Structure 1
Amino acid sequence: MRRRSPPVFEYLVGPFLQYGFMQRALFGAVVLSVSCAPVGVFLMLRRMSLTGDAMSHAILPGAALGFLFFGLEIIPMTAGGLAVGLLVALGSGVVSRFTIQKEDASMAAFYLISLAVGVLIVSWRGSSVDLMHVLFGSVLALNDAALTLIVAIAAFTYVVLLVFWRALVAECMDPLFLRSVSRIGGPVHLLFLVLVVLNLVGGFQALGTLLSVGLMMLPAVAARFWSNNVRSLCLIAVAMAVASSVGGLILSYHASMPSGPAIIFIAGAFYLFSALVGRRGVLSSLLVSARHKTA
């Protein structure tokens, strides 16, 4: 007589054992989580959290141009998204440097224009289904090319983090000091923007242009409630991102929900939980205030 698996085991692990597309989605989402989360931490420390959101929208026209000429082919859409994302980052930087406008304002202008142009291009050639695929992705439909791209981006990200870790941390904490004592400040900042765009392009394959930044930023800002150390922040963010990916895929399978929004929903739940009960969350702050009043 065959021994039946526990219900909890079947609920949590069964989908990944039974279906190949779930295994591929799990692998892609976990690799993406490991790659995106540390980049999100550095964005948060630089007070550039909304820049990630802007950049995720900025890659849309390039991906849309790839779709316009080649359909839903990964290489053209990736190349287009990468090229336009870097162009937007460079353009907003030039405007902020040579005019009175700040970088956040110029980035907002560029990304709004990019978002509108991208939606118009996809709508012109494709259907509403194609538009939804580009905007929200499809982690359950990752193919070999998409998985290879995500793994390559993750490997490149960690090579850069290992080689330039000290410079990246210094550039986050005091960029003016780094540029005053070394010429590496400018190139490191540019290299970091390349990492942001690359990881957003990788996330676009699974979560679309609108949600790819969620897996990058939500675990990072949630980790901030638990630690001040940069290495610890990265580790906590990676753990939360991986848990969000696994939990979101399980939720999407059993509740028949879109996988991308389900992953971001779980990441959002981690953020709310951390904001409430984290070491530096709301409840901890209230307890500290109450102790000071009674002391």
Structure 2
Amino acid sequence: MAVLHDLLIAPFVEFAFMQRALLGTLMLSVSAAPVGVFLMLRRMSLTGDAMAHAILPGAAAGFLLYGLKIIPMTLGGLIAGILVALSAGAVSRLTVQKEDASMAAFYLISLAVGVIMVSLRGSNIDLMHVLFGTVLALENDALTLIGLVTGITLLAFLVFWRALVAECLDPLFLRSVSKLGSPVHFVFLGLVVINLVAGFQALGTLLSVGLMILPAAAARFWARRVETMCLLAMVIGALSSICGLLLSYHAALPSGPTIILSAGFAYVASVITGPRGILVTRLPNTAHRTA
């Protein structure tokens, strides 16, 4: 019992930075993971990754003007994410190019511009902070921001749940029976942006999408209903956060990547052993055909 206490509980009891990191990542799991489920069901997972990179120039602009301060970097990232989303949408509607291609183009431009902007003033350490986050250095302001985003996201799900599900599964039907089709789509894109901005505080621009996509992708192998997938994605995200923080503490590994790697392990395990995974859906069929 003493060994288990030292391994699993003591780090969170003895160190305030571990408590803040745990609180921040748990809130991100509750907020971002359900958004990831809808991204996955809409086949927009790579769009989420592109949006995560798109916030970098805005965050870098805030860094250039005010240094590593939360509010300027957050507002800059939010503005940049919205601008890239609107620009990609405009290009796809006004030209022959599809939205995925225009989004990829804008996110590559944004990533390059953001890295150059950070490099103009900051050191390599500052660049690593912006790209990969510092989950063990979360301050009260960052936790307040993450908590606010979590509250907004849960409230939006409560109000727009039926419309979000309908728009996700059959957008044409929703637009034929209701005027909520387009507004709900923009509400959802707004949730994606604010959750990526919140995740940026802990995991940086390159990894903030990890707690959004990986738990959701893992949950897909265990559940069929959207509600169940969202709840399971929250649980997987929370467990990945706990395991990643503990592993990074005991093995002296970088915390953000270790959290995402833990979520990646949960995804691989789900692919293999889940009720909708390889072992259940493929091997029995193979054995039956052989017989």
Band the TM-score falls in, shorter-chain normalisation: over 0.9
1:80 aligned onto 2:80: no
Counterpart amino acid of residue 119 in structure 1? V
In 2, Cα distance between equivalents of 1:203 and 1:212? 5
Task: List alignment gaps of at least 5 residues for structure 2.
Answer: none
Report Cα offsets for 1:44-65 as digits up to 9, x if no partner: 0000000000000000000000
2:133 equivalent among 123, 132, 137: 137
Q: How far apart are residue 287 of structure 1 and its match?
A: 3.0
Q: How far apart are residue 293 of structure 1 and its match?
A: 2.0
Q: How far apart are residue 97 of structure 1 and its match?
A: 1.1
1:100 aligned onto 2:96: yes
1:267 aligned onto 2:272: no
Aligned to 2:194: 198
Q: How far apart are residue 294 of structure 1 and its match?
A: 5.9
1:183 aligned onto 2:179: yes
* SS of 2:179 mapped into structure 1: coil
Report Cα offsets for 1:80-131 as digits up to 9, x if no partner: 0000101101110111111111110010000000000000000011000000
Task: List alignment gaps of at least 5 residues for structure 1.
Answer: none
Aligned to 1:286: 282
Pairing of 1:148-167 with structure 2 (within 5 A): 148-167=144-163
1:256 aligned onto 2:252: yes
Count of residues paired in the alignment: 291
Pairing of 1:45-56 with structure 2 (within 5 A): 45-56=41-52
Pairing of 1:120-135 with structure 2 (within 5 A): 120-135=116-131
Counterpart amino acid of residue 129 in structure 1? I
In 1, Cα distance between equivalents of 2:112 and 2:143? 28
Q: How far apart are residue 291 of structure 1 and its match?
A: 5.2
Superposition misfits of 4+ residues, deviation over 6 angstroms: none
CA RMSD of aligned residues (A): 1.0
Percent identity, please: 66
TM-score in terms of structure 1 length: 0.97
In 2, Cα distance between equivalents of 1:291 and 1:181? 47
1:235 aligned onto 2:262: no
In 1, Cα distance between equivalents of 2:131 and 2:290? 52
